[in-house]
Copies of this chain bind each other. A is one copy, B any other.
Amino acid sequence: MPDTYPIEQLRGFSAAVFRHFGVPDADALLAADVLAMSDLRGIDSHGVARLHAYHDMLALGRVNPRPNVRIVRETASTATVDGDNGLGLVVGPKANDVAIAKAIAAGSGWVAVRGSNHFGIAAYYPIIALEKGLIGWAMTNATKLVAPLWGAERMLGTNPIAVAFPGCEEPPVVIDLATSTAAFGKVEIAKRAGKPIPDGWAIDRDGIMTNDPAGLIDGGALLPLGGTREQGGHKGFALAAMVDLFCGVLSGANWGPFVPPFALRQEIPKRSVGAGVGHFFGAMRVDGFMDPDEFGRRVDEWVKTMRATKPAPGTPGVVVPGDPERLAEVERRVTGIPLSPAVVADLRDIAKKTGINFD
């Protein structure tokens, strides 16, 4: 059993680490909040498990602790924001707030972001929009890890799409999906367990589909959602491309294989085609389309109808997007966050390097 830690302890530690590197207090709390939401929602890969990577980037001066996050171009409902190479955990929420403000003023707001870094879980951003009663949208590009269908090398990130719709009595529908078939972390877990990975997850360095986790890790690539052509891999590639074109190309950030890494162990691309990592945020006022109470009731009815789908034999039945994460949060607020020994060792290493008390 892993040890568990109260979320407030982890949030406080993360904020102190960010402050240690000169991140202003409000920004440090914001960044810690993004990580905490990930840990609460059970997305263990994107919470404090990543704090050491952020620590390293700040310690080496690869990320700007006090960025001047600014709008460089705008219309009533659109903007491009330059993140000045700040933490994505700070630039992301600030750019998302621009989308929200534009939505409140003009019905919808759409913000492309350049000069950013890894922004945490994509679902954080539409969940913030939900708190204002808005429909929220977030996408980001990321370090290359995924091959286009019929390609033999890493050319795109796992480029997630997150969208959230407010309900009324039912909880909101919160969608957050990477556009690859599987997560890199799942391949690492298979490797540690000495188990093969399924068809459709990965190719090796020669571009051949592999069931060997090492085949991916040693210069191979994840496959886009769908995996093979027969299973719709061209669709997953098209979705990853869409995310990259909005986040990277339209913002002036790096795109495709040129997106910079979020951790030191990853290779720095030989070429730069823009500024940092790119994101894209959207927010829409429900009353720009429909009476919000009516919409909430319709979402409730949609959720209930999907839950009532006849279940396929041998399965738990239909799971509405966002339900597992919401249930994880309810539990983890009480039980604390389970951390693996490797993550605890990472946090203790940060504590040692920074002199900040962890436990």
Of A6-14, A313-321, A337-345, the one touching chain B: A313-321
A150, B245: Cβ atoms closer than 8 Å: no
Q: A48 contacts the other chain (Cβ, under 8 Å)?
A: no
B155, A207: Cβ atoms closer than 8 Å: no
Partner pick for A200 among B112, B155, B231, CB 8 A cutoff: B231
A306, B155: Cβ atoms closer than 8 Å: yes
Complex Cα distance A147/B312, Å?
9
Task: Provide the A191-213 mask, 1 if CB < 8 A to any CB of B, else 0.
Answer: 00000001010010011100000
Q: A227 contacts the other chain (Cβ, under 8 Å)?
A: yes
> How many monomers of this chain does the complex have?
2
Q: A121 contacts the other chain (Cβ, under 8 Å)?
A: no
Partner pick for A147 among B135, B255, B309, B319, CB 8 A cutoff: B309
Max chain B CB contacts within 10 Å: which of A73, A244, A273, A290?
A: A290
Partner pick for A177 among B173, B181, B235, CB 8 A cutoff: B235
* A134-157 interface with B by 8 A CB criterion: 135, 147-153, 155
Complex Cα distance A179/B226, Å?
10
Chain B residues with Cβ below 8 Å from A313 are 152, 206-208
A150, B319: Cβ atoms closer than 8 Å: yes
B318, A149: Cβ atoms closer than 8 Å: yes
Q: A298 contacts the other chain (Cβ, under 8 Å)?
A: yes
Q: A310 contacts the other chain (Cβ, under 8 Å)?
A: yes
Partner pick for A257 among B284, B285, B298, B305, CB 8 A cutoff: B305
Q: A90 contacts the other chain (Cβ, under 8 Å)?
A: no
* A296-339 interface with B by 8 A CB criterion: 298-299, 301-302, 305-306, 309-313, 315-321
| 3 A-B pairs with the lowest CB-CB distances in the bound complex, closest first | A75-B107, A78-B288, A207-B312
